[in-house]
Amino acid sequence: MAQIGYKYKLRLNWRTKDRLNQWIGANRLLWNLALSQREMIEHKEFKFRETIAGNFSSLNYNYQEKQLKALKNEYPFFKDLPSQSLQQCLMQLDRAFKSFFKKRADFPKPKKKGKREAGIRFPSLKEGAIEYDKHSRRKAWVTLPKIGRLRFVSSRPFSGKVKNVTLTKKGMDFFVSFGVDQDLKVVGNTSGSAVGIDRGVVHTLAISNGEFLDLPTERIKILEDKIAKLQARLAKKKEFSANWMKQNEKINRVHNRITNIRKDFLWKSAHNLTKNHGMIGIEDLGTQRMTQSAKGSIENPGRNVAQKSGLNRAILRQGWYDFSVKLKWQAEKHDARVIEVAPHNTSIICSACSHKSSANRISQELFRCVECRYEDNADTNAAKNILERAAGATVHNALMDLGLDKNPPL
């Protein structure tokens, strides 16, 4: 049993939008007030926490939840929000601090308007709260406490018990998300074949069988040029004026279109690959480290800053890390295995004779081995090397389970 999220766009009138804006603002204020209160205590007790097992903190959810009544008296607009949603906000903050203490996440950050918004969360949903139109399943409504009946676009059906509901805002649009308990439908792979995948800039995904899956970068570049023009107009407007806000919203909408194009490509690619192949090898890439700026400091200035900046932008445009996350999720759904292997030298090793030389890489797209004269697309050759390493890692893990091999694969 796993909890799967389903997100839908809300269709609201302006009165409901205004009220939800007030709710989101109040939720953001609650998060920031609670965070400030905990920050003051945490910083004072930091030196003591270092010597106390379990990362002691005198401030937790139970303490802050008891202060909600006094907070409502001081700020009456909090009374308009469902009490459950306020409690959920404090619970999320408490979980964020626990993750920080266990060194699984950074220190919690304040919420900002339009960025890192705190969604309105409902921990449960009454039976029959979701209704569908008799003539069109795409038209649906959900009834929530204190806000009533909200219409949403049911773009894909779901079944299962709804465990929680979250209202969020992105740009000027509002969304509703349902957390649904479902059994993962494992679809066995009929072919059981194995492939290696090389993530690149020229080709987003190069498959070891010679196929290429490419993000529609031309569409994205057109939208990026549009953003540049819109930002130039934005710079001429008075900051936070009505016209500035309208122009900024236009920019956000174009950004959202780029995000949706990338997500659509990555989800479909991950789904098709895991559905048709039993084992998939990919490189274990540290994308965050790879895309760090090269500008350096005043004392130690970087070199080739402009070129590195362009490469970083190209890597982030392709969504390398996002693809690996989606691939692992789809692999679990389709009963496939994803094997991450070391990325070093995959682009300069010949997949035919294993000869390693930087001279093998003739160009960005051409690979020609100086030893055996084997010729192939450079990304396809790298994908074949990744597949070989993934297969070696699989054999090694099997031998380790039997206690027969203690040496890691090359």
pLDDT in tens, 323-372: 999 999 999 888 899 999 999 999 999 999 999 999 999 998 899 999 99
Identify the pLDDT of residue 55. Answer: 46
As a whole number, mean pLDDT of residues 56-85 equals 88
Active-site residue flag, 198: yes
Identify the pLDDT of residue 48. Answer: 43
Q: Which of 75-89, 220-234, 253-267, 289-303 has the lowest mean pLDDT?
A: 289-303
Identify the pLDDT of residue 3. Answer: 82
Helix/strand/coil (H/E/C) assignment for every residue in 182-240: ECCCCCCCCCCCEEEEEECCCCCEEECCCCEECCCHHHHHHHHHHHHHHHHHHCCCCCC
Catalytic option among 283, 365, 371, 388: 283
Q: Tens digit of pLDDT for each residue in 295-336?
A: 655 456 666 667 777 778 888 889 999 999 999 999 988 889
Active-site residue flag, 65: no
Query: Pairing between strand 194-199 and 279-283?
Result: parallel
pTM (two decimals): 0.79
Higher pLDDT, 120 or 317: 120
As a whole number, mean pLDDT of residues 144-153 equals 94
d(CA 10, CA 30): 24
End-to-end CA distance of the chain: 37
Identify the pLDDT of residue 71. Answer: 93
Identify the pLDDT of residue 134. Answer: 86
Identify the pLDDT of residue 299. Answer: 55
Q: Which regions of 71-129 does DSSP assign to beta strands (E)?
A: 120-122
Catalytic option among 42, 94, 376, 379: 379
User: Quick one: DSSP state of residue 80?
Assistant: G
Neighbours of 219 (CB within 10 A): 12
Question: Binning pLDDT at 50, 70 and 90, where does residue 410 land?
Answer: low
Active-site residue flag, 133: no
Identify the pLDDT of residue 192. Answer: 67
Query: In 3-state terms, what secondary structure has residue 50?
Result: coil
Identify the pLDDT of residue 384. Answer: 96
Q: Amino acid identity of 217?
A: T
Catalytic option among 42, 198, 376, 388: 198
Return the domain boundaries, the chain.
2-6+124-182, 11-121, 194-288+322-402
